[in-house]
Each structure stands twice: as structure tokens, then as C-alpha cells.
Structure 1
């Protein structure tokens, strides 16, 4: 019965997303609300960037409705602990609404980056205030229990990092929505396995609302006015959604899920690709003496595109990489130390980028050789004359 409720909510979110996106497209084209075209961006046609406007309304309405039905004699039969879980969901909803307004404002008229960063820190503090914070490292770096004065700032830092990582990975069609969909389904299934039904409900609602957007974003045709981007109203709120799910799963709290030795590794594995990509890009910018938040083409999807992959192949490659990390970590944490698992993750990540760099170098050398041969032939011909 409980699983049927979760799957029904997933279906409702999918239907509402499918229903609302055409209206968002219609408004965007009538009011000329398009993503600006510049040299850094791959699209050269007018595309709406208000797809994220469908996410939060559906997420919040369905979650608040679920809370009401649960409160009324647990009509959804989810058997949740009111005092333990309700504040968490309300903190989540409040944070989503604030980030939604911030992102929508930025999409329409622009917002100062310092103000955006301040709001992100404010919203990130909603998690520990509502009882969601990292209180156990499960032996990672040989640390176990974390006191509040350490765990709460760490949670705020991790949340802001995740929000920005998801925001920055939104560089090619379907990448951000695909990664978050995979992460939501993985964490939603894990929460359901541990009978944390309200968290599973939110995860599946998030996945449900993203699938219609993914189809429009990847397979929509701009000339037919069907293609759409999510904008900051989508990427910021998706980042906060994933931070909530990951921290909730990693938290040592029997009211949410039973104790699991690999919880923190598995909980954050779904975000490993965007977080490691942001860390690598920041390091590259720092070494080059560039501003850390200056846009460039150093992200993982840029590397794949520069190798000659089209957008869909690059997107699929990154999503498969994220799925590999999810499966690998979920299995190996039961057999080896969390520290070894994380070390292997970093090794695999480094080998993946080393392989990309090697392929890119070979392609660059081959291109130079092809360009050099005609010039040599021309010089020889001129010498014969």
C-alpha cells in the first residue's frame, strides 16, 4: 500500500509536469522570455529558460497535501513520526520556495551573485534548523560522531556546495535533469527500502516532475517551439532537493532510517560527479590565476564535446558514469572500508579524466598533422616550379 502511494505520487507529478510545460512555453514565446545567446552557449536559437518554474509548485503542493493527508489519521498509511519528520519537510518546502523566487528573478531580470550566495547560505541553514544535519561521518577520515558545532556548519557548507554544483553542471541538454532523476530514483528506492516513506515520496515526486522536462529539453525542437531549459529556478531548487535527500540519508537518525555503516558514502554518491567536477574546475581556475566563479569551458561536458561527441552522447556518458558510482559504492560499502571506497572513487575519477585528456591530445595531434601535410605539399610544389 505504501509503495503504491509513492508510485501514485510519482505518476501525478509526471502528469502535472507534462501538463504545465506547454503553458510555460506559450507564456515564454508570447512574452519573449528567452535564454540569451552568447559564444559560450551551444544553442543559436531562441529557447525558453523557464522550465524550472514547473518543479517547485508541483513538489511543494504534493508534499504539503501529503502532510495534510498524513495528519488526518494517516490517510496515506505512511506511518510517519510527526515530531521527527514534519519539521524536516516544512524546512524543505520553505527553502524550495525561497530558492524558486530567487532563481525565477535571476532568470527574468538578473540577480547579483553576492546576494545569490547569501540567500543560498540562508536557505542551507534551514536544514539543520529543521533537524537535518550531518551528525556522523561513519568512519570517513576515521571520524565517527560529530557534535552540533561541527556538523551544522559542515551541513551548511555541503548544501551550498551541492546547490552550486548542480547549478554549474547544467551545461548541456538533459545533463542536470538526468543526473538528478537518477539520484532521486536511487535515494528514493533506498528510503523506501528503509521505510522512510515521506522522504521516498519526495524523491519520487522530484523524479516524476523531471521526466517530462527531460523529454522536452533533450528531444524538443526549437523551431517548433518545444525546446526548453530549466534556468536557475530549476537548477538551484534541484540542488537543494538533492542536498536534503543526501543529508537526510547520511544522517544517523533512527527516526528516518536504521543505522547503516556506509550511509554517508551512499547518500552523497549520487552527487559525486557534479561535486568532483566543480572541485576540479575550481582547482584549474585557481592554478591558472583566474577568478574562481568566472565562466569557462573546463567542465566535464565541455571536454566530451571538444572530443567530438554530440550533446546526447556526452550527456549519456556522464549519466552512466554517475550510475556506475552509485552501483559501485552501494555494493562495496558492505565489504570494504568507507575510506577505501572513497579512495577508489577518486582513482576512477582521475583515470577517467586522464583518459579524456589522452584522447583529446591524440585528436589535437592528428588534426595538426592533417593541416601540416597540405602545407608541406604546397611548399614542395612551389619549390619544383
Structure 2
């Protein structure tokens, strides 16, 4: 018996020694911290989301259907309430564990990284509460814009702003007087563009998840592990939400939307990752991929928001009046289901990313942007033709049925 206890103790000691030896190298510790943060965020989201559904049912907190919306049943839109708490809890715990295993933040980056993260979390939390209020009782769009400009200004306060355009339209370095307001306006625009994509099941959530997953891998490759950890924390909290958002059944009270508390914060965080990645390389050693990847990931929502606003302006409609002219509405109008529309648009997003990453080695950045715009116009035109065709078929069917 004593021999068995001794063998067990030796085995345990040997196993712990092996684990500690495995995590001696920094990149192994980084892998561990990223995995830990991802799992914690995933578990927190899995635990809280069902409770949110119960609260929504008890208090009658539903998003009622109307002529503009794509759903026909009462569905809670409070799924986004889990995102920021999941990220804050998992990231804070993971950073603490990193210090426990003698793997603190990179001293070369701790000043700027810590400042950026603190401002980012402050801005995200503020926008989270604005979105939560809008989901519960509504907030006028003017107040939401004021809040968005306020949190967008936190990026330049941390020293993060777009100071180089990589030769787009012949522009390279930007002076701070132009770069700072341009960055603030761009953050607000991206935040709202992502928010506007939250119109059908899975589109905003899965689109954001793809972006965060790609950024997580790219930041890990660059050795910016704290940003990679944050990216995977967001992936972790989005995965359970997508299950309820895509596969949930309204009649069983298992379906939910993310609401503005989720879509606004996702857009805000995506704008941070995009700007940060664009500014990863030093001026003078610019890598066009650092511009192309963020541009490609955000092109679909950004272009669609611009197209819709141009159409509204051309038709003398209010720019901020909601309608059913977005690309996901067009997909539904062709007869596609929510899941098919989401699959089509996410496939389009991935094609853009791979196509642009390959083409940027062979053509000018300005030409690449023009090609992307032309392809987007072509896709919208094809969808419009399918909509007309479907309407004509329905019209003929009605005439045949009525004998006219």
C-alpha cells in the first residue's frame, strides 16, 4: 500500500514537472493564457445566457416585430448583455494568472498596451450601458451618436490613431490634426456599420466572430499576446450566443438577439482591432497587408452602410431613418432564408479577405479598392435582378390563380 502511494506521488510530481517545463517558454505561456481566457469567457457566456432568457420571459422584455424587422415572433434582444462582462472577467482573471506563472505583460509594451486596454474597456463599458438602455427603454439616435463620439475619442487619448494611409489616394503620413478627427469619425462609422448588419440571424455575431478569430491569430503571430487574448475572449463569448441566435426556437423561449448592447460594443471593439493592426508596423517599413486585412474584414458592413446612405440621400429620405434596403434584406427578398443569407454574406466576406490578401501583391492599393467596390456593386445588382425576377413570378402566379 505504501509503495502504491509512493508511486502515485512520484507520478503526480513527474506530471507537474512536465507541465511546468512545457510552459517555460513564453509562447507556451501565451498559448495557455489565451486558452484559459477563451474557456472562461465561453463558460461564463454558457452560464449567463439561459438566465437572461428566463429574466426576459419573466419581465416580458421582448423585441416586438414590425414592418421593418425580419422576425415575426416576440424575441428578447438582450444577448449582448453577456459580452462585456464575459470579456472583463475572463481577461482580468487571465492577466492575474499570467503574473502568477511569472508571465507578466511584455515590458516593452506594458505602458502603451495597458493604456490602450484601459481606455478600450472604459469606452466599451460606457457604450455597453448606452446600448443596454436602448434595448430596454430606447435611446434617441442623437444621444447615441454623442456617446459614440465620446468613446471614440478615447482611442487618440491612448495614442492610437490612423497616422498613415499606406498610399491610398496617394496619401501616406497624416498629421495629427487630420489623423485624430479622421480616426474618431471612422470609429463611429464602423461602430454603426456593424450595428446595422445586425438584421438577420447570425450575421453580425458570426461576422464579428470571424474577424476576432482572424485578429487573434494575427496578433499571436506578431507576438502581441494580450491583444490575441482579448480577441479569443470575444470569440468565446460569441460562440454560445450564436447557438441561441441561429438555432433557438421562439416558441420554446430559446432564441435571442444581441441588441444594441452587443452590436455597438462589437463594432467598437472591431474598430479598435482594425486600427491597432493597421498601425502595427513602424512608418517607413509599411506592410500593405496591415491595411488590406482590416479593410477586407470590414468592407462588407462599411460599404453597405455607405451605399444605403447614398440611396437615402438620392431619394431625399432621412439618412438615419431605418429601412429594408440593406444587403441582408435584399438576400431575404430573393427568397433566401436567414441562414442561407448569412452563409452567402459570410462566404462573400471570406472571399474578399483571401482575394485581397493575394491580389495586394500584384496590384496597386487604389486599384484593389476600386475592384472591391465594383464587385460589391455587382453583387447588389445581381440580388436586385433576382428580387425583380421573384416579384414577376409571384405576380404571374397571382394572375393565374385569380384568372385575370
TM-score over 0.5 for the pair:
yes
| Residue pair 2:105, 2:226 contacting (<8 A) in 1 also | no
Contact 2:80 2:259 in 1 (8 A): yes
Residue number in structure 1 paired with 2:190? 162
> How far did residue 262 of structure 1 move?
2.7
Match 2:166 to one of 120, 128, 138 = 138
What's the CA shift for 1:22?
0.6
Specify the alignment match of 2:336 in structure 1. Answer: 309
* 2:166/2:286 contact within 8 Å kept: no
Contact 1:70–1:78 (8 Å) recurs in 2: no
Q: How far 1:62 moved relative to its partner?
A: 2.5
**Is it true that 1:318 corresponds to 2:331 in the alignment?**
no
**Residue 41 of structure 2: aligned partner:** 13
Match of 2:245 among 198, 209, 217: 217
TM-superposition CA deviations, 1:163-190 (whole Å, max 9, x none): 1011111001111001100111112111
**Residue aligning to 1:192:** 220
Equivalent residue number for residue 18 of structure 2: none
List aligned pairs for 1:118-133, cutoff 5 A.
Answer: 118-133=146-161
Q: Which residue of 165, 173, 177 corresponds with 2:205?
A: 177
Aligned-residue offset at 1:36: 2.1
What is the alpha-carbon distance in structure 1 between the residues aligned to residue 357 and residue 207 of structure 2? 17
The Cα shift of 1:351 comes to 1.2
Q: Which residues of structure 2 form unaligned runs of 5+?
A: 1-27
Q: Corresponding residue for 1:251?
A: 279
**2:289 equivalent among 262, 287, 290:** 262
Hey, what's the Cα distance between the residues in 2 that align with 1:313 and 1:125?
38
The answer for the alignment partner of 1:205 in structure 2 is 233
Instruction: Give the Cα separation in 2 of the matches to 1:213 and 1:116.
Output: 24
Q: CA deviation at 1:300?
A: 0.5
TM-fit CA distance, 1:65: 3.5
Residue 11 of structure 1, CA deviation:
2.2
Q: Conserved in 1, the CA contact under 8 Å of 2:33 and 2:98? A: no
Bigger radius of gyration: 2
- Indicate the residue corresponding to 2:372 in structure 1: 345
For these two proteins, the number of residue pairs brought into alignment is: 375
The residue matched to 1:271 in structure 2 has which SS? helix
Distance 2:215 2:42 in 1: 18
Shift of 1:323: 1.1
Cα displacement (A) at 1:301: 0.8
Considering only aligned residues, what root-mean-square deviation do their CA atoms show, in Å? 2.0
Q: Which runs of 5+ in 1 are unaligned?
A: 380-385
**Residue 194 of structure 2 contacts residue 266 of structure 2 at CA under 8 Å; is this kept in 1?**
yes
2:128 paired with 1:110 = no
- Provide the C-alpha distance between the structure 2 equivalents of 1:339 and 1:262, rounded to a whole number of angstroms: 14
TM-score normalized by the length of structure 1: 0.92
1:382 matched residue in structure 2 = none
Contact 1:135 1:252 in 2 (8 A): no
| 1:242 is the counterpart of 2:270 | yes
Is residue 331 of structure 1 aligned with residue 358 of structure 2?
yes
What's the CA shift for 1:370? 3.3
Equivalent of residue 27 in structure 1, options 32, 50, 55:
55
Equivalent position to 1:64, from 85, 92, 96: 92
Residue deviations 1:333-368 (CA, integer Å, cap 9, x gap) = 233222122111112111111111222222233333
The one of 286, 289, 303 equivalent to 2:316 is 289
Is residue 2:334 matched to residue 1:299?
A: no
Structure 2 residue aligned with 1:370: 397
Change (3 A) 1:65 1:335: farther
